[in-house]
Amino acid sequence: MGLLPTYQKLLENNQEWAAEKLAEDKDCFSRLANGQSPPFLFIGCSDSRNPIETITQSQPGDIFVHRNIGNQVLLTDVNVLSVLDYAVNVLQVRHIIVCGHYNCGAVGAAIMGSASGIVNNWIDGLRELYLSVKPELDLLPTTEDRIKRLAEINVLKQAKNVCKTSIIQNAFLTGRYPVIHAWIFDISKGLIKDQPLPIEEWRQLDLIPDHYVGHSQAIS
């Protein structure tokens, strides 16, 4: 890892970036100032090693972003629900991506029981998820393997929670709804893994309708 930038360097980098963008396209910022219509909502972890715009080579205006510790979609969290509501009903995003990552500190703390203070309260749901799948995880040979597997299980659980919200359920009723995705970012490789969703299982639970179109057939 290179030297960490100083505070002043961050501002200098911004000046250079803005100048480069204007050199490429003199109207790029004026267009952005007129409003946004991103096709994607990204719900990810706050971890600094998971910069979604960088790892997907996206541009400003492409992705509407919400982050929290452990990429959780809690049905009692007004913050994430407000973001989801705005993204679906105002911005009319076409895809919702819930993205976890390997080597996640929140997932590790849920397994080890090492969190304290407010963070411990926040990841209580992750701890409960861990305990519910502990027999499966105990079959894995190392703690690292267990943390990786729980990160995968967690991102599927949070994508499922997205489907549980009244926001998405109402969107399903209208027939115009975003496609749900569950990603895992492997920091050690710089690669995203697109996890398949248990569509048929969720249909049986009435979480998604029969007419739901999954990501293999998703609109662009």
Nearest partner of 72 among 102, 30, 107, judged by Cα? 107
Nearest partner of 219 among 66, 52, 40, judged by Cα? 40
Active site residue 49: yes
Active site residue 101: yes
The runs of H, that is alpha helices, within 25-103 are: 28-33, 52-55, 78-89
Catalytic residue among 66, 95, 99, 104: 104
Alpha-carbon Rg for the chain, nearest whole angstrom, is 19
Catalytic residue among 66, 101, 149, 181: 101
Pair 40, 94: CB distance under 8 Å: yes
Task: Provide the CB-side half-sphere exposure for 1 (13 A, CA).
Answer: 5
Catalytic residue among 25, 31, 49, 176: 49
Nearest partner of 192 among 41, 57, 38, judged by Cα? 57
Q: Which residue has the tokens 């997205």?
A: 162
Active site residue 163: no
Bin 113: left if φ > 0, else alpha if -120 < ψ < 50, else beta. Answer: left
Q: Report, as residue numbers or ranges, the catalytic residues.
A: 45, 47, 49, 101, 104
